[in-house]
A and B are shown apart, each in its own frame.
Chain A
Amino acid sequence: MKKSKRDKLFFTSLIPFSISLLSTLLLLIFLLFFNSVESLSAHGVSLFVKTIWDPENGVYGVLGPILGTIITSLISVSVSLILSFSLAITIAEYLEGYLKKIVSSILEFMGGLPTIIYAVWASKYLVPFLKNNVMEPLHASLPFIPLFSCRPVTGFSIFAAGVALGISIVPYVAAIILEAYENIPLIYKEACYGIGATKYEAIKTLLSLAKPAIIAALILGFARSLGETTIAALTIGNSMTLTPCLFSPGYTVSALVASQFANAFLYQHAESVLYASMLVTTLISIILSLYASKLIIDWRSRVVV
């Protein structure tokens, strides 16, 4: 179909809006990169293989925060997988009518809740709870495992931050799993029940069908945990250390930036080091998100049609 003249005009009139979107993205990445150059050229790769924050002597290494970011996000994804998986299955398979509406509404309510509220709650209630009921028993009974080898002193730790982040991304991950699950064509379900499957067996079959979408949901949850600032900054304990123990305080990149950026201009390179570590986090986050959305699109065109 040939576009009419007015259509063309309409199409052109909307182009500036899309260009503004593209230029924003490019400008953001350019600004992060532009500010990173100074420290990247001064320190090179050593910036990412050491763990040290000594602005007075101009020595930096952000391996600790980067590993801290990855480890907290991994814990967060594992926590949210179990919780959101059950929540999605419950909503899709076991609840009906009014109850289903209420629980889905609660899920939406959680999804939009400002993260600072989660952060305040986590720092005041979740962290002490985890310290007394999870971290101390684990340390007492399994001190020979390196992950649990250190005594949880305050409770503010990589482990606590991971769990808090995991709870906060539950609605996000659950919504993606739920959408994927409900998008599976009905014929598959009918086929399962048609050969006499029980509900459990049907769910198992349907879930194996939705596997790529669930993996995508987990990757998206991981990417979201990577960049989350307020919850991490209030629960991780803010310490520049690198230990294999999950119960010691640490840093994520965004928590490091949140606590150090305001004073960083006082020291040479400090600000630029923060930009460089944030650039790395940002790029990882963008790549993972794009990969995950590609997974979902591919899955949809294959299964849902």
Chain B
Amino acid sequence: MYSWRRIRERLFKIAVFGVAILALIPLFHLMIVVFINGLPTILEAGLEFLVDLPPTPLSQRLGGIAPSLVGTFMVTMISLPITIVLGLFTAILVTEFPKSRLSIMVDTIAKSLSSIPTIAVSMAVFSLIIVLVNAIPELRASLNPAGSALTGSLALVIIALPFSYTYFSTFLRTVPATYKEAAYSIGMSRWAVIVRVVLLVVKKSMLVAVLMTMARIMGETAALLFTAGRYRNGVPVSITSPVDAIPLLIFDYILSPFEVWHRVAWGATLILLLFYMLIFFVVKVVVKEVKLV
């Protein structure tokens, strides 16, 4: 009897370990092949990969991904601050008044929002812009219904908001109640406690929440499919005209039958992976334990 329990113990451990390693293999394989396929593209194209336009399908030259880089930068710069402000204030409300009916409602809404498929958000925002442009003809001149950095950013805010709200409220909840009690006891108002005590205690975590929201925004593909415009023939200059984004470029080029576009897509994938790794390592340096999921 005892020996069977012992054998079972061993078998279980081996099985669990084996499958756990199996679960991690895809990540390592993925990173290796992205480097193997992406690095030659970037080395061959050189610095021009960052400043040149994408190649035509039958071109001999590799060109670059400048329009997508600038586009991703634009939509991130527009949507990140809006998401942060909305997410942070909503998180403060919910953590300060956890029993209030409003807070419980907000929490449920955030969960529902985050479970909406991102492509559904893209479709809804697309139709919203069409409705707006048809209702207000003056808008047509300024806002391109085929997509723009502004429209794309709107979709991104909707997608990233529930995530940033979750990050912020998780971090705000870690502030010990004793800190707040001490602050109240010397007569500080509720708002002053938030600004001068709570946010100061978790200021590192706040940075992490901002970076994680940024990672989410930068890597999002489906939300931009019908809202950004996929304009790759030049570097965008206006936030109201169509733009591209790195994930969109990868998505379109990897689906295309052209060899040169596949190579550009691999190069762009490596750039995206490097961006993400950079953000992740900064986050890891700032705070020891964070949850990106």
Binding site for B on A (CB under 8 A): 6-7, 10-11, 14-15, 17-18, 20-22, 24-25, 27-28, 31-32, 34-35, 82-87, 89-90, 94, 101, 103-121, 123-126, 167, 170-172, 174-175, 198-201, 203, 223-224, 226-230, 233-234, 254, 257-258, 261-262, 274-275, 278-279, 281-282, 285-286, 288-290, 293
Q: How far is the CB of B169 from chain A (nearest CB, A)?
A: 12
The 6 listed contacts between A and B (C-beta, < 8 Å) are: A28-B120, A108-B291, A229-B118, A289-B111, A289-B114, A289-B115
Instruction: Check if B27 sits within 8 Å of A106, measured CB to CB.
Output: yes
Instruction: Check if A114 sits within 8 Å of B110, measured CB to CB.
Output: no
Instruction: Check if B222 sits within 8 Å of A31, measured CB to CB.
Output: no
Q: How far is the CB of A57 from chain B (nearest CB, A)?
A: 24
Interface string of B217-235 (1 = CB under 8 A from A): 0111110011000000000
Write the chain B residue with the least CB distance to A174.
B23
Instruction: Check if A121 sits within 8 Å of B33, measured CB to CB.
Output: yes
B247 sits at the interface (CB 8 A): yes
Q: How far is the CB of B188 from chain A (nearest CB, A)?
A: 11
A-B contact count (CB 8 A): 258
Of A7, A24, A110, A285, the contact of B117 (CB 8 Å cutoff): A285
Instruction: Check if A24 sits within 8 Å of B158, measured CB to CB.
Output: yes
Interface string of B241-266 (1 = CB under 8 A from A): 00000010011001100000000011
Instruction: Check if A18 sits within 8 Å of B105, measured CB to CB.
Output: yes
B161 sits at the interface (CB 8 A): yes
B182 sits at the interface (CB 8 A): no
| Interface size range of chain B in the complex | 35 or more
Indicate the member of A105, A113, A228 with the most B CB atoms within 10 Å.
A113
On chain A, the residues within 8 Å of B158 by CB distance are 24, 28
Q: What is the predominant secondary structure among interface residues of chain B facing chain A?
A: helix
Q: How far is the CB of A41 from chain B (nearest CB, A)?
A: 17
Q: How far is the CB of A262 from chain B (nearest CB, A)?
A: 7
B239 sits at the interface (CB 8 A): no
Bound complex: CA A289 to CA B107 (Å): 12
Indicate the member of B18, B165, B219 with the most A CB atoms within 10 Å.
B219
Instruction: Check if A229 sits within 8 Å of B117, measured CB to CB.
Output: yes
Q: A21-B161, A254-B222 are in contact. Are A121 and B16 (CB under 8 A)?
A: no
Instruction: Check if B221 sits within 8 Å of A230, measured CB to CB.
Output: yes
Q: How far is the CB of B168 from chain A (nearest CB, A)?
A: 12
On chain A, the residues within 8 Å of B289 by CB distance are 104
